Structure 1
Amino acid sequence: MLRIAICDDILHELETLVSLTEEFLAAHSLEAEIVKFSHPDVLLTAIETESFHLYILDIVMPMVSGLELGKEIRRLDLKAQIIYATTEPQFALQAYAASPVNYLIKPIERQQLFDTLTLAISKADLSEEKTFAVKKLQTVCG
């Protein structure tokens, strides 16, 4: 199942992002678990034991910026999809250090978020199974 983490320290912005994401999922008949984080430290603690396919992050937050948060997510998970949603356009170039799918400026335009979610979900690795190759060695007696 698709797992989405949304982190924004401004409660009404967090609720808007959650609501739009839920609307997108319903419109596309997708099942997902959305976990809300109102502080970046709580998300940092969560990713020590949990993983998410998709992260939607604000940039300007207390203690840990969304830029630092994105870099840490990328360090732990190369396949995670990251979307930045912020009021601050001046961080766009710095944000690309975490290889985000997109950098959206608030107020978030519904269709732009939907298009970005479509792209991010198409890139997400939703396989639950971990596979690995096993090489059979031949024993030669002689």
Structure 2
Amino acid sequence: MFHIVVCDDDRSITEYLKETLEKKYRRKIECQCVYSAEELLKWLEDLDQGHTNIIILDIALGDDDGIAIAKEIRSKYPQIKVILLSGYAQLASNVFEADPVYFLSKPIDEQKLFSSVEKAMDIVQHQEIKAITVAGSGGKIHRIKVEDILYLETSNRNCCIHTDKGDCIEAVAKLSDLVNQLPDYIINSHQSFACNIKKIKSFSREDGITMISGDVIPVSRRHYKGVKEAIALHI
């Protein structure tokens, strides 16, 4: 499943895009509307909001510069693909500074909308993140192969990354920030846990998730459906 966020200060535009995309792609996507740069950035930073794949972003958001916001997103969340849109032709000349997947002009052509979203989906599906670099306690830097990650767990204000090598690496980072750097098969199962779908041994609503290591991690009611769908997609 792809997680899409639409950000435009014109509510009629956001609702139109949401309804159009959900009608076209049905259960293939989840779509969320936000209406300001502040709300968008808060959404991305919020521990409970899960994994965002694609953002459709207006470049004129009141007093905020959507192109600058897109650059910030590219810097902080490189795995998220951004589609920019605008009704002002004079603003379009600078959009490619933000390296968007696509630029849509208003009024929005549905076929171009679908083409842009499908292009972003294709990039998300095929992008391969092989390793992440995290800062540990005492300033130590760790380079961790994504294929080695079993699950991540919130520990006080930091995060422990459990690997299939038996390591538990403490990272000075929020769980949400780490999940946003990782492929979409590493997904939140709980407010305090995220797991590698490819490393699951068994899964049930009653017993939670058993990893191939034998470790058992919880699945909250909020995240149960998302985990179930992710397993169906990746296994």
Paired residue total: 130
Runs of 4+ displaced beyond 4 Å: none
Q: Is the 8 A contact 2:101 2:120 kept in 1?
A: yes
Report how far residue 46 of structure 1 moved.
1.5
Q: CA deviation at 1:125?
A: 4.3
Match of 1:15 in 2: 15
Cα distance change, pair 11–122 in 1 and its aligned pair in 2 (3 A): same
1:24: Cα distance to partner? Answer: 2.4
* Matching residue of 1:139: none
Is the 2:56–2:84 Cα contact (8 Å) retained in structure 1? yes
- From 28, 34, 37, the equivalent of 2:34 is 37
Q: 1:31-60: CA deviations, max 9, x gaps?
A: 222111011111111212354100000111
Q: Note the C-alpha offset of 1:132.
A: 4.1
Question: Secondary structure, in 3 states, of the residue corresponding to 1:78?
Answer: coil
> Where in structure 1 are there 5+ consecutive unaligned residues?
137-142
Q: Is the Cα contact below 8 Å between 1:79 and 1:125 reproduced in 2?
A: no
- Give distance in 2, aligned partners of 1:89 and 1:20: 24
CA drift of 1:131 comes to 2.5
| CA distance 1:48–1:125, shift in 2 (3 Å) | farther
CA distance in 2, matches of 1:34, 1:95: 23
> Percent identity between the aligned chains?
28
The residue that corresponds to 1:103 in the other structure is 103
The aligned residue for residue 61 of structure 2 is: 61
Whether contact under 8 Å (2:9, 2:35) holds in the other structure is: yes
Q: The residue matched to 2:60 in structure 1 has which SS?
A: coil
Choose between structure 1 and 2: higher strand proportion. 2
Equivalent position SS for 1:103: strand
TM-score (ref. length: structure 2): 0.50
Contact 1:7/1:14 (<8 A) preserved:
yes
Bigger mean CA offset, 31-40 vs 45-54: 45-54
Q: Which has the bigger relative contact order, CA under 8 A and spacing at least 6?
A: 1
